[in-house]
Amino acid sequence: MSSPPNIPLVKLQDGTEISVLGFGTGTAWYKPDRFSAFNPDMVKMAKDAITVGYRHLDTAEGYGTETELGQAIKESDVPREELFVTTKLAQTISEGKIEDIPVGLENCLKRMQLDYVDLLCLHSPYTTKDNIYDEAAVAETWKLFESLQRSGKARTIGISNFRQVHVENLLKTAEIKPVVNQIQFNPYIQGAPQYAKWLQSHGIAVQSWMSLAPITWLKGKHLEATLEELSAKYEVSKSTILIRWQLDQKIIVLNTTKKVERMKEFFAAVDLKLSEEDRDKITKVGQEAHLRIPVGNLFDGGDYSPY
């Protein structure tokens, strides 16, 4: 897979290469009712993202954006083999049965007008209708994910929103190790830097979502002054600072936006060099209090529990 020259590629533990910056279609584009009307604005933004240089594109059946992303891919001038497309399954399981997973992926592919995805993630470790963690159910689910990788419908497979205990349990029975864990990751989530190191030590790459929460959902909290200071010092935006802080920890960063100009701020992080002192300051100040965006069905132990 090729990538624009300014966005580095990293190699996952199975040899798959992925851009360190990805364009996400959740959050800003998320549909509360995923079966709601087709959104042409989402198609245009995804096409713009591809045009300005994104090759790593992220969606999920739960976002309701697979159809729009697929249309954007179809209308873009970039060959399919140059794109890295991720989708995630959860609703297929919670609204049906675990054995529906292969059909669930087929439906994802139909919506995106694709023959395969580059990465298929299990969106949550709660694979029961009542969103209760069941170790045996996750193991059964993962077996089907492994079969989908072997079929070629998913080039590689990963997980999302798994805490350490969930990963440890999965690894007891997994024949194919997940290549990534997508987690809510930013300076405000206590334990996130340590958890990322633990995952990486087990060969599991970390992808972040809600990575810019300190300047969006959690704007004005205790890290604000530090980000203002560093933004002025390095003459870049606060989003650029936050993304670089993650890249320095070997995090694969997913971001979304409704403004093309913001993408330039995201890309600028690739060339930014933060001093070790400033990087550590962001971590220290951010970790003084634990702040998590509540998504109860994706994270147990309380929305505000550390990893």
Closest-CA residue to 19 (of 247, 285, 293):
247
Closest-CA residue to 61 (of 53, 69, 52):
69
In 185-232, beta strands by DSSP E = 205-209
Task: For strands 154-160 and 251-255, give the pairing.
Answer: unpaired
Q: Which letter does DSSP use for residue 213 in this model?
A: G
Look up 123 and say whether it is catalytic: yes
Quote the CA–CA distance of 294 and 302 in Å, as a whole number: 9
Annotated catalytic residue within 54, 56, 63, 195? 63
Task: For strands 251-255 and 205-209, give the pairing.
Answer: parallel
Look up 63 and say whether it is catalytic: yes
Contact indicator for 195, 307 with CB cutoff of 8 Å: yes
Annotated catalytic residue within 123, 133, 188, 307? 123
Q: Which letter does DSSP use for residue 289 in this model?
A: S
Burial call 45-64: b when 16+ CB within 10 Å, e when fewer:
bbbbbbeebbbbbbbbbbbb
In the chain, beta strands by DSSP E = 9-11, 17-19, 21-24, 56-58, 84-89, 117-122, 154-160, 180-184, 205-209, 251-255
Q: What is the dihedral of CA 276, 280, 281, 282, to 10 degrees?
A: 110
Residue 268 amino acid letter = A
Q: Of all residues in the chain, what percent are helix, strand and coil, respectively (each to 5)?
A: 45, 15, 40
Which amino acids are annotated catalytic?
A: 63, 123
